Chain A
Amino acid sequence: MLVLEKNEMTKEIEQLVNKYGFSRSSLLPILQDIQRKHKAVPDFAQQEVARLLDIHPVEVYSVVSFYSFFNTKQKGKNLVRLCQTITCDLAGKKSVARALEREIGIKFGETTKDNKITLEYVNCLGMCDQGPALLVNERVYSKVTPEKAVQILSEIK
């Protein structure tokens, strides 16, 4: 990370601590905001969060590593997550997954070279009455077919 970027990050985290309050219980909201913006919680950000909340960096890392929505390695600009749980599975998850992999040439768990899209599986999204369900960033799509899934991807910027 460049010094300039580091300063920028520090400033950002200071603002987040102000927004959510100087308290351990602000840790998750702060990390969530960092993750949303940077598509990762980088090492440096973890250290700064720890310093500014006055907790040990290991504590921050233990939280980051616990929750599946946080990651230290940068993900793509857009996160595409397909539900892998049983109702969606029986409703045709597999063919949707294959279509997605074919179309953008990566496997689940991977990110495209241009850093545009990361493909992942998630567990039940609470859309089981309308599966297969697909989450693109925060937006949820239901009754996804292979064709529809590819259509959705093509609309991603």
Chain B
Amino acid sequence: MKKIERKGEVIFSSYKRGEAIHKAISMKREDILFEIRESKLKGRGGAGFPTSTKWMLVSAAQADQKYIVCNADEGEPGTFKDRVLLLEYPELVFDGMVVAAYTIGAKNGIVYLRGEYEYMLNSLEGYLDEMRKDNLLGKNICGKEGFDFDIIIRLGSGAYVCGEETALIESLEGNRGEARNRPPYPVNTGFMGKPTTVNNVETFAVVSHIVIKGGEWYKKLGTDKSTGSKLFSVSGDCDKPGVYELPWGTKISELLEIVGAKNTKAVQVGGASGICIPKSQFDRTLAYEDATTGGSIMIFNEERDLLHVLKNFMEFFVEESCGQCTPCRIGNVKLLEGVEMIEKGKFTFHHINNLKELGKSMQVASKCGLGQSSPNPFISILENFREEIFNGNGGIHGK
């Protein structure tokens, strides 16, 4: 299998198994929290919530049990960086979980691995066994009196919405993966009603490096609001699809250059639930404050039909909506019908404009992130590519 990875200065830099754990247990808990706050690390799962704030809340909560959950549900179309981390750098991810456990005082960790990644299960279990043998998991970890922690792996069963943290917790508890009302947040009432921190695979991997090298070092990279580096999963029309570690703040045009993309018409940033960026905006930067992404970058060249792309995305959302709330359950179906009308040339602009408005209502009225973001491609593709879709070539689709 040909593999393309661009090693960056942080995540893919050299690391020895257990290093972060040894360092962490020599530190005070507050000092670890301080370093992570200094680093200004934000969650890598997409939502970008400050990791230190989440950990501080769980750490401050009073409870007899606390949980660390690693979100390895990686279901956003176009994202595969967690796959690479888990297969090739499990030490970074698991050590990060142990550091989190030490910091917030948790005894149990759970990895929620998407069902589609079952092929990794044996090697990951084997790796955890190794850690137990070396006392990186278990009782009195690395000789630290009273620091007990272990990790189990639980599989998903093919539901994208279970990547949403409260749906994930529902699924762990043996229920349908339906998002909960928030508040209360998992930091107070998480798994089994106990304080729980849910973090992305990459977030834990970054923590392992920050503990060793410090927050000051980390925030030298990236921009002021988006510190450090990020793993980008690049796919679509380019010579070198793969996982790239690049500092936040990299321009889309720079990324296209690096991955060898030619004749690019559009870049979908943030997966199916992200936005579609046209050529005229390729000088925008990848950052939380500009074009943000949990890692997914999909490249489309001049030959691609963006209406076809949009249809594929909307089919995805219709299938994956959990159906709990009306804006998302019905809304996505309506948006898909709209795309099909355009495809057949049987639409009115009046109706399409209404659907865009419906999309905006879904963004505010849906219960969880799925319905809140599923109108993004609909709105951005029909706005940014309206010439092509409605008027282009005398109206390919404008018949």
Give the interface of A toward B (CB within 8 A): 23-29, 31-32, 62-63, 66-70, 84-87, 89-90, 122-131, 135, 138-140, 142
Contact = CB atoms under 8 A, between A and B. Distances in A.
Interface string B245-267: 00000000000000000000000
A129 to B, nearest CB: 4
B78 A66 contact: no
Nearest to B236: A87
B157 interface: yes
Contacts of A138: 118-119
A68 B162 CA distance: 12
Contacts of A66: 159, 176-177, 322
Instruction: Give the 9 A-B residue pairs with the shortest CB-CB distance, closest first.
Output: A27-B174, A67-B157, A128-B235, A68-B158, A129-B241, A69-B158, A69-B157, A66-B176, A24-B174
A77 to B, nearest CB: 17
Given A28-B154, A29-B155, A124-B77, A135 B173 contact: no
B243 interface: yes
Given A68-B157, A123-B319, A142 B1 contact: yes
B175 interface: yes
B175 A128 contact: no
A127 B80 contact: yes
Interface stretch (B26-34, B137-145, B308-316): B308-316
A69 B116 CA distance: 9
Contacts of A69: 115, 157-158
Given A27-B174, A29-B154, A89-B312, 4 more contacts: A25-B192, A28-B157, A126-B74, A140-B116
B51 interface: no
A54 to B, nearest CB: 12
Nearest to B268: A86
A67 B159 contact: yes
B150 to A, nearest CB: 15
Contacts of A129: 4, 80, 233-235, 241-243
A123 B236 contact: no
Given A87-B235, A128-B80, A63 B117 contact: no
Contacts of B76: 124
Contacts of A140: 116, 119
Interface in B312-330: 312-313, 316, 319-320, 322
A126 B243 CA distance: 12
Residue among A66, A69, A85, A140 with most chain B CB within 10 A: A66
Contact of B174 (A26, A85, A86, A89): A26
18 contacts: A25-B172, A26-B174, A28-B155, A28-B157, A29-B155, A67-B159, A68-B157, A69-B158, A85-B272, A85-B316, A90-B304, A124-B79, A129-B234, A129-B241, A129-B242, A130-B1, A130-B241, A138-B118
Q: Which of A63, A66, A129 has the most chain B CB atoms closer than 10 A to its own CB?
A: A129
Contact of B298 (A29, A63, A86): A86
Nearest to A24: B174
B116 A87 contact: no
Contacts of B298: 86-87, 128
